[in-house]
Amino acid sequence: MSMASLEGLGGRVALQVPLRALSVAVALAAAILAVLVWSLMTGSYDLSRAEVIDTLWGNPPSDTAGTVVWEFRFPRTLTAFMVGAFLALSGATLQYVTRNPLADPSLVGVSQGAALVVVTVTILAPGFGFYWRPLLAFGGSLVVAAIILTIASSRRGGETLRFILTGIGVAALISSFTQTLLTYGDVDGALAALTWLAGSVHAAGWDEATWLTVTAMIAVPALLAAARPLAAIRFGEEVATSLGIRVVAARRGLVGLAVGLAATAVAAVGPMGFVGLVAPHLARRLAHSGVGLHLVLTALTGALMVGLADLVGRAAFAPVQVPAGLFTAIIGVPVFVALILRTQARSQL
Amino acid sequence: MRLLTIAAAVVIAAFASPILAETRTITDDLGRQVEIPVDPQAIASLDDLRLTLPLIELGAPVVASHGRISRVDSSQYIRSADILTGASFENSNIAFIGIEPVDLEALAAAEPDLIFTLVTSNADADQLQAIAPTVVFDEDITDRFAIYDRLAEMTGTEPRLWVLKDRYAKQLAQLTRLVDTESISIGLIEGGSDGAIAIEHTFGSLGRVVRDAGFIQPDVIEEIAPGGRAALSAELLPLLDSDIMFDTYRGDRAEGPENAHARMEEVFPGYCEALTACTEGNYYRIPRDEAKAISYNALSAMTMMLLTILSAPAPVGE
């Protein structure tokens, strides 16, 4: 890890700065900005760059142009970025806490819990479902996560392994209920549910963008502030305890944060696989850094992944809309496998 | 003087009525109050089979529709509308706005003045409303053919609907006059699928004709709740046996009767021997689009098909 030393106040303050990690963070932020601009300029509704800029400055060439840029493209792109960042941060936190590099939000049943509730309502009460879908998904995520955490912490000792196994088991059980509904439920409702299950940002508006922003303002600083206990926990319970960390409380708080982030993301756009799994690894391989900076890189990587996936998904085959979740899987899986193969010799897994 | 007053009133009414009666408020199936144009001139539909097809049959001005991508040649098509009405994206002014979920920007580009969608759509009604007044339908709260009455009322195409209804009534009367429908049983299956047999209480237009004409249906179909469907275990196939049976294949996917046969063989090897209808040559495999679509043109086609089969020197009902 290349470091640069910065000194100030006559040498009384010295700061070690991981140069490469900071450079990567700046590059990722620039890439996200580029995707935002590209996304605002691209779409099925024919608008020139000048017209988009005029619209952004409050002088749209028509009411419809204003609607397209301000009500469709802008909130959709912001939502994609935030969903990506949330899922990535959730995955990274769970990987640190469980010390399992394959952990992601599905481990705590977030996707499965949301899926079961949304599929149930979409099939059994389609008229009720749409407006309440985000709230239902959020509730389903939290309930299933709470069940997993309660079972996993019901005995002392070996909590990490029991947490992983419980997560896998309960998630599989919940998924089987969902599958049953999809198989035997009304075909139109099942098709609608399948579109949501693919993870798509197509219907995201300012409501989603707003409550994702509010969540970000609370959860992201809390997570970054928890970098120290997170760094200690990854070395194991004994080391963390010797460093003065109250391991059980810290672990539960961190898992709670991870669940909250993932549940909010899934409630906004549906389950989106591989981001929580792949983004932390991609970030780590882009630049080695401490836990805090790694979380920042992870969030930026996740945001870029989903933002790009949504842009490609809505523009590449327009007017056919390919869910971003499919593209994150299509992009994420090969990249992940390539990374594993490339670093097999010095694997951290 | 009196004549002058009347003339003035007529002139005022002629100019004022489009302004005063430009829009009206309706309540859609989500309970939303929607202000819609009295005389819509550019309608967008977010479901090809269940909204676009009826709108085309009613002669409503559709400018944009959800559609499908052909598995055969990757072309875009309006399910069932091409075969039942001749209308397609190529030969009409209807713009393709994507499969589910539709592209909101493509929808906006079509500049509709009224949007129709279903509760099962993944589009947000509030976002659609930002483009044009949006009416959300829940088909499950009424008989599926009732969508015609509601669409006709909202688009001002009731006269066309009366013609369609009258035509069907006359064709149905002809069928019941020439065929002793109450003595003939008919079993309808959508087809074999994943180890089971898909059946419905009323299987689209064919099911509607069978019910309206008074044919007997197997108990296993009658026991399904109205509007419902079921996946019947293959072991229960003999319960569907009837004087006449219909099975379907996807014509829009370039399938033929052999595909329907293959699916049933997969579900129940040797199924034909288990069914009297099949062993006696009364098991028919027909295109699903015409049989299943909710369409007055399909009702006509199905009525004529039944009349053709059953008014010929009949192997059944004698």
3-state secondary structure A324-341: HHHHHHHHHHHHHHHHHH
Question: Is A10 within the bounds of a domain?
Answer: no
Whose CA is closest to A286, among A91, A29, A24, A95? Answer: A24
Q: Which amino acid is at A270?
A: G
Mean pLDDT for A337-342 is 72
3 state SS of B285? strand
Shortest CB distance from B29 goes to which of A127, A184, A319?
A127
Give domain status of residue A5, yes or no: no
Judge whether A257 lies within some domain.
yes
Q: What is the pLDDT confidence band of residue A115, given thresholds at 50, 70 and 90?
A: confident
In the predicted model, residues of chain B with pLDDT beneath 70 are 1-21, 141-142, 312-318
Residue of B30, B98, B123 with shortest CB distance to A319: B98
Q: What is the pLDDT of residue B216?
A: 94
Min Cα distance A204 → chain B (Å) is 8
Q: Say if A197 falls within a structural domain.
A: yes
Contact A68 B96 (CB under 8 A): no
DSSP B213-247: HT-B--HHHHTSPTT-EEEEEGGGGGGG--SEEEE
Work out whether strand B114-118 and strand B33-37 pair parallel, antiparallel, or are unpaired: unpaired
Tell me if A349 is assigned to some domain: no
| Predicted TM-score (pTM) of this structure | 0.82
pLDDT band for A5, please (50, 70, 90 cuts). low
CA distance A328 to A323: 9
φ/ψ region of B195 (left if φ > 0, alpha if ψ in -120 to 50, else beta) reads left
**Using one digit for the tens of pLDDT, what is the confidence trace for A299-323?**
999 999 999 999 998 998 888 888 8
Alpha helices in chain A (DSSP H): 19-41, 49-56, 63-66, 74-98, 110-124, 126-152, 159-184, 187-197, 206-225, 227-233, 237-242, 247-269, 275-286, 291-315, 324-342
Please give the residue range of the domain that contains residue A110. Answer: 17-342
Best residue in B122, B137, B292 for a mutation probing chain A (most A CBs within 10 Å): B122
pLDDT band at A135 (very low <50, low <70, confident <90, very high): confident
pLDDT at B18: 46
- Tokens, residue A100: 């399992």
What HEC string does B112-157 produce?
A: CCEEEEECCCCCCHHHHHHHCCEEEECHHHCCCCHHHHHHHHHHCC
* Contact state of A189 with B120 under an 8 Å Cβ cutoff: yes
How close B29 comes to chain A (CA, Å)? 8
A122, A127, A318: residue with CB nearest B106: A318
Report yes or no: A113 and A145 within 8 Å, Cβ to Cβ. Answer: yes
Which pLDDT score, from 0 to 100, does residue B19 have?
Answer: 45
Nearest by CB to B69, which of A72, A195, A320?
A: A320
CATH of residue A301's domain is 1.10.3470.10
pLDDT of res. A157 = 55
In the prediction, which pLDDT does A122 show?
Answer: 79
pLDDT of the residue at B302: 96
In chain B, what are the domains?
Answer: 24-156 (3.40.50.1980), 163-310 (3.40.50.1980)
Please indicate whether, in this complex, the C-beta atoms of A319 and B102 are within 8 angstroms of each other.
Answer: yes
pLDDT in tens, A39-60: 999 999 989 999 999 999 989 9
Residue of B nearest to A127 (CA): B119
Using a CB-CB distance cutoff of 8 angstroms, which residues of chain A are in contact with residue B229? 186-187
Reported as a pLDDT band with limits 50, 70 and 90, residue A160 is low
Residue A33 lies in a domain: yes
Question: What domain count does chain A have?
Answer: 1
> What is the pLDDT, as a whole number, of residue A341?
74
Alpha carbon distances (Å) from B228 to B143, B223, B304: 11, 10, 26
Per-residue pLDDT band at A156 (split at 50, 70, 90): low
A221 versus B58: the higher-pLDDT residue is B58
Q: How close is the nearest chain B Cα to the Cα of A122, in Å?
A: 7
Band (A349; pLDDT cuts 50, 70, 90): very low
The pLDDT of residue B104: 93
Across the interface, do B106 and A203 touch by the CB < 8 Å criterion? no
* Overall average pLDDT of the A277-289 stretch: 88
A183 occurs within a structural domain: yes
**For strand B114-118 and strand B43-45, is the pairing parallel, antiparallel, or unpaired?**
parallel
Q: Are residues B124 and A203, on separate chains, in Cβ contact within 8 Å?
A: yes
User: In the block, which residue shows the tokens 């319960």?
Assistant: B239
Residues A151-167 have a mean pLDDT of 70
Tokens of A155: 């005995």
Chain B residues touching residue A203 (CB < 8 angstroms): 101, 122-124, 127
* Whether the Cβ atoms of residue B11 and residue B5 lie closer than 8 Å to each other: no
Q: Is residue A80 part of a domain?
A: yes
Q: How far apart are CA B170 and CA B275, in angstroms?
A: 33
